[in-house]
Amino acid sequence: MANGTLYMPETEPNYLDYRGRFKGILGWILSTDHKRIGLLYLYSMGLFLTVGIFFGFMMRLELIAPGKVIIEPQTYNSFFTLHGIIMIFLFIIPGLPAVFGNFFLPILIGAKDVAFPRINLLSWWLFAIGGGLAITSVFLPGGPADTGWTFYVPYSIRSTTNVLPAAFAAFILGFSSILTGINFVTTIHRLRAPGMDWFKMPLFIWSLYATAWIQVLATPIIGITLLLVAVERLFGIGLFDPALGGDPVLFQHLFWIYSHPAVYIMILPAMGVISEIIPVFARRTIFGYSFIAFSSLAIAFFGSLVWAHHMFTAGMSDTGRFVFSLLTFLVAIPSAIKVFNWIATLYKGSIQLAPPMLYALGFIFLFSIGGLTGLMQGALSINIHIHDTSFIVGHFHYVMFGGTGFGIFAALHYWLPKMYGRMYNEKRAKVGFWVLITGFNLLYFPMLVMGWLGMPRRYYDYLPEFHVYHFISTIGSWILITGLLIMAVNLILGVRRGAKATDNPWGGETLEWRIQTPPTHENFHEIPVITGGPYEYKINENGQEEKKYEEVT
């Protein structure tokens, strides 16, 4: 609930039509408007996602049958490396914070922009430069990196491929992430509208806040670690390579001190999106607001302390393994709090299966599978059995793609009408969802099964008994890509030629639904005064809700 004249219809141009100092493409790539920067991220990420999907598709195609199918082993090694680097550093880590965080964070807290608009633009430039370098490294002499996205030593010290450009790209992308984090923390502390105290903030903001802290605190560690790898490669200083007197386990510790919290950089904002969508389409206030809010902080905190569960077979001490196994189990508690709260919100709600809601429900289903298989791996005995098998690959795709990926798609379907002022075809969106989730499970579930049976991950070839699982998985990848294409075409057509969207197509109560569609350059005509919580659905004198989404049939 908010008071004040939030916008003056038709008097101010929207941010898409707004003419600043520069025109044309410069008006975009030099714009400090958080909404335009959000879209810049969206477009660049769309590009990187397409490249990442291509590599994934080729890997699956190669694995459709034992032996060589289309690519050589060395190419295969490079493909899974690039698939990992691109999907993780260029799509899923920046994903929600950079696109939807940039676009909606200021609007949701009633601000005109982020605290440091120029730093915001700088972070996009760093992202674009880092992304460009990662892609360029494929074509430089020496060939694309083949270490896996984890850059494990000593192989990353000895590989003759372009490990350094790829690692340097990740280093630059890290800075982009840190700058975004600093910007968001400051914005949330300093720019909340009058009356918006911490417990009146939408839950997406809580999740961005928790994420931003991890970005600021953990990212420098990967930066310095990759720099140390460069020092070791270039100057032969023995840090990690045992042949030079270094300690490879230390590299793994340092790498995962960042890279495990990075998993929570990816998943937390997605959980925030789900917390926004569920109350709107269940027409109920969120169940357990403060528990969801604090569980974000708890996930950020505990999630930062569990990194060594990636290394249980790497030669750790028993005490170390015990401690990290215990901590891993603890992260499940705040994660489960969220899932149970969403389900409790749905209970006795007036549920409408609009496309954003379908994706949100898909998220809960897939994330639950991903989360529970994660718990299995937290147990030491099971972990040793399934370490480095395709069970792990299946698990993290359920979390990363089924969780964060579906979170991004949910956010796209939820906020796209506000961002562009046009609506996509809802029927087609639902078809896309069902094709996507079918393909998804066909692609990744067999990985869980064959991993359990002993299929190692990253292998180019395999024993005949695994053929059937690989075959189903590859067929699943085709269905999944079909679903993605349906979704992408539908959204692009919607943005270009869709019907005009109203200011509040879903009947949401948060601030973005109370301003113009698409928003004006400065979001609000007057900074609003916040008087109530974000999910209070009002009943009018006729006993009906004032605003309600009407399903298109």
Partner 1 sequence: MSNHESHENHVTGYGVYLLVWLGLLMLTGITVAVAGIDFGRITITVALLIAAIKSWLVLTIFMHLKFEDTTFKIFVFVAVITFVVFIVLLFADYLFM
Residue with tokens 């937290």: 378
d(CA 399, CA 303): 14
Kindly indicate which of the ranges 87-95, 227-235, 303-311, 337-345 contains the residues binding partner 1, using the contact rule CB under 8 A: 303-311
Identity of the residue, 178 or 515, whose beta carbon is nearer to partner 1 in the bound complex? 178
Interacting residues with partner 1 between 208 and 267 (CB under 8 A): 213, 216-217, 221, 253, 257
Q: Which is nearer to partner 1, 325 or 425 (CB)?
A: 325
Is residue 450 involved in binding partner 1 (CB under 8 A)?
no
- Binding positions for partner 1, 149-208, rule CB under 8 A: 185, 189
Q: Report the nearest approach of partner 1 to the CB of residue 321 (Å).
A: 8
Query: Nearer to partner 1 by C-beta: 39 or 185?
Result: 185
Task: Report the candidate in 316, 142, 126, 132 with the shortest Cα–Cα distance to residue 233.
Answer: 142
Q: Identify the bridge partners of residue 422 per DSSP, sorted by sequence position.
A: 500
CB burial readout 241-275, b (16+ within 10 A) else e:
beeeebebbebbbbbbbbbbbbbbbbbbbbbbbbb
Whether residue 383 contacts residue 309, with contact meaning beta carbons closer than 8 Å, is answered with yes
Q: Give 52-57 contacts, CB < 8 A, sequence gap 24+.
A: 52/82, 52/83, 52/86, 52/87, 52/90, 52/91, 53/481, 53/484, 55/79, 55/80, 55/82, 55/83, 55/86, 56/83, 56/87, 56/477, 57/477, 57/481
Cβ-based nearer residue to partner 1, 82 or 254? 254
Cβ 313 to partner 1, closest distance in Å?
A: 13
Out of 183, 215, 304, 473, name the contact with partner 1 by CB under 8 A: 304
143/107 Cα distance (integer angstroms): 44
Residue closer to partner 1 by CB (options 114, 306) is 306
SS3 of residue 423 by DSSP:
strand
Smallest separation (angstroms) from partner 1 to the CB of 218: 8
141's tokens:
């002499």
Q: Does 318 bind partner 1 (CB under 8 A)?
A: yes
Q: Which is nearer to partner 1, 258 or 415 (CB)?
A: 258
Which segments of 276-435 are extended strands (E)?
422-423
Rounded to a whole number of angstroms, the minimum distance from the CB of residue 301 to partner 1 is: 9
Q: How many CB atoms lie within 10 A of CB 220?
A: 14
Q: CA end-to-end span of the chain, whole Å?
A: 31
- Check: CB of residue 235 under 8 Å from CB of residue 304: no
The residue within the footprint of partner 1, chosen from 88, 133, 196, 308 (CB under 8 A), is: 308
| Minimum distance, C-beta of residue 150 to partner 1, in the bound complex (Å) | 18
Should residue 329 be labelled a site residue for partner 1 when binding is judged by CB under 8 A?
no
Count of residues that bind partner 1 according to CB under 8 A: 20
User: Would you say 5 or 319 has its CB closer to partner 1?
Assistant: 319
Choice between 233 and 321, CB closer to partner 1 = 321
CB 129 within 8 A of CB 121: no
Burial 95-128 (b: 16+ CB within 10 A, else e): bbbbbbbbbbbbbbbbbbbbbbbeebbbbbebbb
CB of 200 to partner 1, least distance (A): 20
Q: Which is nearer to partner 1, 373 or 383 (CB)?
A: 383
Among 324, 415, 424, 440, binds partner 1 (CB under 8 A): 324
* Residue placing its CB nearer to partner 1 in the complex, 160 or 319: 319
Per CB under 8 A, 312 contacts partner 1: no
Q: Does 538 bind partner 1 (CB under 8 A)?
A: no
Stretch that binds partner 1, among 231-239, 314-322, 395-403, 468-476 (CB under 8 A): 314-322
Q: How far is the CB of 315 from partner 1 (least distance, A)?
A: 8
Query: What is the DSSP code string of 40-74?
Result: HHHHHHHHHHHHHHHHHHHHHHHTTSSS-SSS-HH
The two structure tokens encoding residue 494? 């919607």
Task: Tell me how far the alpha carbon of residue 11 is from its chain's centroid.
Answer: 36
Asked if 299 is part of the footprint of partner 1 (rule: CB under 8 A), the reply reads no
Peptide bond between residue 269 and the one before it cis (omega within 30 degrees of 0): no
Residue 163: CB minimum distance to partner 1, A = 25
541 binds partner 1 per the rule CB under 8 A? no
* Max CA distance (Å), the chain: 79
Minimum CB–partner distance for residue 449 and partner 1 (Å): 32
- Nearest distance from residue 209's CB to partner 1, in Å? 13
Q: Which stretch binds partner 1 (CB under 8 A): 46-54, 165-173, 321-329, 496-504?
A: 321-329
Contact yes or no for 341/290 (Cβ under 8 A): no
User: How would you class 14 by CB atoms within 10 Å of its CB: exposed for 0-12, middle for 13-18, buried for 19 or more?
Assistant: middle
Please report how close the Cβ of residue 323 comes to partner 1 at its closest, in angstroms: 5
- The CB-of-515 to partner 1 minimum distance in angstroms stands at 28
The CA angle 525-528-529, to the nearest 5 degrees, is 155
Distances, alpha carbon 467 to alpha carbons 108, 315, 339, in Å:
50, 32, 35
User: Given the rule CB under 8 A, which of 301-309, 343-351, 391-399, 519-527 is the region that contacts partner 1?
Assistant: 301-309
Q: Which CB sits closer to partner 1, 259 or 404?
A: 259
Measured from the CB atom, is 304 or 517 closer to partner 1? 304
Which listed range, 44-52, 309-317, 337-345, 441-449, lies at the site for partner 1 (CB under 8 A)? 309-317
Contact pick of 20, 46, 320, 533 for partner 1 (by CB under 8 A): 320
Contact with partner 1 (CB under 8 A): which of 122, 230, 305, 332? 305
Residues 6+ away with beta carbon under 8 Å from 130: 89, 90, 169, 170, 171, 172, 173, 176
Interface with partner 1 (CB under 8 A): 185, 189, 213, 216-217, 221, 253, 257, 304-305, 308, 315-321, 323-324
